[in-house]
Amino acid sequence: MELKPYQQQVINDLSLFLEEVQETKDVKEAFYNFWSRHPKTPLFPFVGTAIEPYKNNVPRVPHICVKVPTAGGKTFIACNAIKTIFDSFLLEKPKAVIWLVPSITILDQTIKNLKDPSHPYRQKINSHFGNKVEVFDKAALLQGSGFNATSIKEQLNILVFSFDSLRAKNKEDRKVFQENGNLQSFETVLGKDTDITLGAVIKYLNPLVIVDESHNAESDLSIDMLKEINPCFILDLTATPRNNSNIISFIDALELKKENMVKLPVIVYNHQDKTEVINSSLQLQRRLELQSIEEEKKGGKYIRPIVLFQAQPKNGKDFLNEEEEKSNVQKLKEKLIELKIPENQIKIKTANINEIKNEDLMSKECEVRFIITINALKEGWDCPFAYILSSLADKSSAVDVEQILGRVLRQPYVMKHNFPLLNLSYVLTASSKFLETLDNIVKGLNKAGFSDKDYKLANPVMLEESKKQDPLQQLNVFETIKNIDNIEISEDITADIDTTRISIPSDSILPNTTVANIEQTAIQQNDVFEKTVSDMETNNEIVLPNEIQKLVKTYSIKDIFIDQAAQINLPQFFLKVPSNDLFGKKEEELPLEKENLLEGFKLSQEERKIDFASISSELYKIDLDETKKEHTPTFVRLDGLVKESVMAYILDPSRKDTRVKNFTKRIMDIIGNMYPIPDKEIEKYLKLILEDFSDEQFSDFANNEYTYTDKIKSKIKSLSEAFAEQKFKDFLDIDKVFIKPSFELPKNITPGLTSKDITKSLYEKEGSMNGYEERVINEIGNMTNIAFWTRNIERKGFRINGFVNHYPDFIIQTKSGKTIVLETKGDHLDAEQKIRLGGLWASKSGNDYRYFMVYERRNVDGAYKLEEFLNLIKDI
């Protein structure tokens, strides 16, 4: 099981943030830099914008949040994040994870999945940590079962707790903080004068903390609990972040829908009464099942669509006991049986009754098509076959689906189905208070991490009628509901259901008008979504997450330039690769990525000359007082802080024959992944370098390992780039790499910070610039031969893709029809690679395109000084 693109983006965001932490040694500054440079949303974290300043919830501990909607795979993201986070830590640190969950149901489910070697979660963690992984629940930890002072150093230890276990509210949970003889082995690390408790061991481990459903853990008590366990890093996972969250990654509904994770939008239909709701539910369920049967015949997966009937609690409250609850919902089950629905197709799942406990709802052997519930599905129960949520609340009530709407959102098998009705979900209601019902539907979507954009009405007339309702009538209804405690609602929730008006579904009978309307809306909305995705991919548009859209200013192309801008289609490089299909081999054309150019790169055969003599041992050292700043995390990597025990092991004269091996492993751990260069090639290269080291160099290396490693990493990077550049030229010569138009100017941009207005700008506002850039483009904008110009936004605009990724500063259009791509450079900066790539791009793009690199005064081969460039461009 591999990460979906949006899940990989979360890991990329996490990695970028950690790089900023290591660079700045300050969490607050790292968070600021992360968002000000983010490729998807270049926004400065100021109050009132999408991203607020960092909230220092737990001092000196990075505490960040990932917003992932329901069905987005939060747990799998967390499993992948563990390695990314630990790769940024000091290498000798024990690797321990405290995994916090909000309930016993989720606790049992998490432990089961993480312990199961065949489950994708455990398989991913095993692959990252060489199968040296153990998962513990509280009971095993208290018994010291496989958990001791030796094991914590040899493996990744994942300790799964509920929030309450560490908040220590009751006697059972306080055992975590009581002296425990089963953990006596930890005396060697805690000291003889310390009480040996599980809490003390956790504090010593300085663990990574993963908080699942973190919106449940933001009280003062929860924050105190997090401080008490002495975390090194806190990763929050939630669909609904609270105000004090430091969000580094937003996942939007569109991303989940693109990857077929969810059945969106939700199609909503409001009926006249409960009888109609049941009738439509039975008809729609059968229509969906018939489509699913056809889907399977044509090679699709098995689906058995399920209806969730949400019964109303007595008097609007939970039932007092199991007998009262069962009596009520049993009446509904009997009504369905009266309609000739087989009893084995109907199950009850409420707070006290769980008839689906032993059912594998996705099995072909299972017959369940209808589940009756009240409000007990709010956690710990998922079935992608659940398609229809049908509320049987009183007509005078505002239907409350907030707690259980998420149960119908997961897409079966995470794939798009050929029949469009199988790609959406449905809510059927009967409420005279439809405005409030819709509000509750939106709350349910919000609770699942979605928005009001993610539902559609199958009957918009109902909404208009609800808006026209007499205000006095609404007030009277409100007063009635407000005094609900004084009203005795009939215990028989089926009293007003008229079975004579309900049609038994038949495969040969066409759907009634209501179901036909629902089907029509579903098909239309599915088409709208497909078009949205198609347009987004065609126009190179980055869709901002919904939360950010509301706060980010978007700027459009000025009306005067719309037609001319639409004609521009900038060339980019593509690669021809072989593709096998049913009719034989043919070539496929894919956008070139620099990784494509490193095939055949043998690092171990490259030259190894590195000037280590130039290293200043002070380069990475930071005064110890600096590391005590309020926002400085404890895990930052600093030279000169390697533990004596580690250095003694590496430099031990008796281990001289294995010294190269020990150093190689340590450098490999620090370097991390250098995809696509294989680890084996890097390992060979490092050994060849280290074999020439003297004892003095080994000693200096041990004290300044991060500086030395950076020097080696830079060398590897320069060698790989030289190889990629030569391969790029070779591919151009044999037409394996070629150029074709592929980038259209987006209709709208969201640049974050903007520049001052300069004449002939393409958009209403352009992205921010430095003083030199403003001076250059102001000169250009005032030239008579220029039609318009735009600031190309770094990492999200036009990219010259080759042996490096180059985002030029400006795109300029002349009145003669020439497109000029311009990069401005300060005189103190080197850019030889970009100059060479830009020149190759222009030579291959044709006579209508030009590329210029412009310095202010510096002479550089292939580039221009500003004065000579301005004299040249005015005649193009």
In tens, the pLDDT along 452-498 reads: 888 888 877 766 666 665 444 444 433 433 343 333 434 566 777 88
Segment (H or E) for 247: strand 247-250
Whether residue 648 is predicted with pLDDT greater than 70 in this model: the reply is no
Show the DSSP H helices in 617-677 as ranges.
644-651, 659-671
pLDDT at 253 over 50: yes
pLDDT over threshold 50, residue 601: yes
- Looking at residue 496, the DSSP 8-state letter turns out to be T
Describe the crossing of helices 679-690 and 705-733 by its angle, rounded to 10 degrees: 120
Confidence of residue 618 (pLDDT cuts 50, 70, 90): very low
**297 pLDDT band (50/70/90 cuts)?**
very high
Domains recognised in the chain with CATH numbers: 56-252 (3.40.50), 258-531 (3.40.50.300), 596-732 (no CATH), 745-873 (3.40.1350)
- Across 233-237, 334-338, 372-376, 405-409, the highest mean pLDDT is recorded for 233-237
Q: Which two tokens stand for residue 558?
A: 């000025």
Q: Which of 233-247, 485-499, 518-532, 860-874 has the lowest mean pLDDT?
A: 485-499
Question: What is the band of 858 on the pLDDT scale with cuts at 50, 70, 90?
Answer: very high
Cα gap 157→93, rounded to integer Å: 12
- Give the containing element (helix H, strand E) for 526: helix 513-538
Would you place residue 815 in the very low, low, confident or very high pLDDT band (cuts 50, 70, 90)?
very high
pLDDT number for residue 165: 81
Q: What angle do CA 527, 533, 534 make, to 5 degrees?
A: 85
Q: Are strands 584-591 and 569-581 parallel, antiparallel or unpaired?
A: antiparallel
CB atoms within 10 A of CB 145: 13
Residue 248 token pair: 């580094």
DSSP strand pairing (819-825 vs 810-814) = antiparallel
Q: Which of 18-22, 104-108, 376-380, 797-801 has the lowest mean pLDDT?
A: 376-380
Q: pLDDT: is 225 or 216 the higher one?
A: 225
Q: Is the pLDDT of residue 318 over 60?
A: no
CB environment 268-302: b (16+ within 10 A), e (fewer)? bbbbebbbbbbbbbbbbbbbbbebbeebeeeebee
Average pLDDT, the chain: 83
Judge whether residue 722 has pLDDT over 60.
yes
Give the lowest-confidence range in 211-225, 311-325, 378-392, 659-673. Answer: 311-325
How do strand 63-67 and strand 266-270 relate by DSSP bridges?
unpaired
Sign of the dihedral through C-alpha 665, 670, 676, 682 = negative
Q: How many CB atoms lie within 10 A of CB 779?
A: 16
The pLDDT score that the predictor gives to residue 376 is 53
The mean pLDDT value for 414-430 works out to: 90
Residue 356 C-alpha from the chain's centroid: 32
The DSSP output letter for 511 is P
Q: pLDDT above 70 covers what percent of the chain?
A: 83
How far, in Å, CA of 283 to CA of 126, rounded?
A: 47
Comparing 176-185, 305-314, 853-862, the range with the smallest average pLDDT is 305-314
Residue indicated by tokens 């008490």: 228
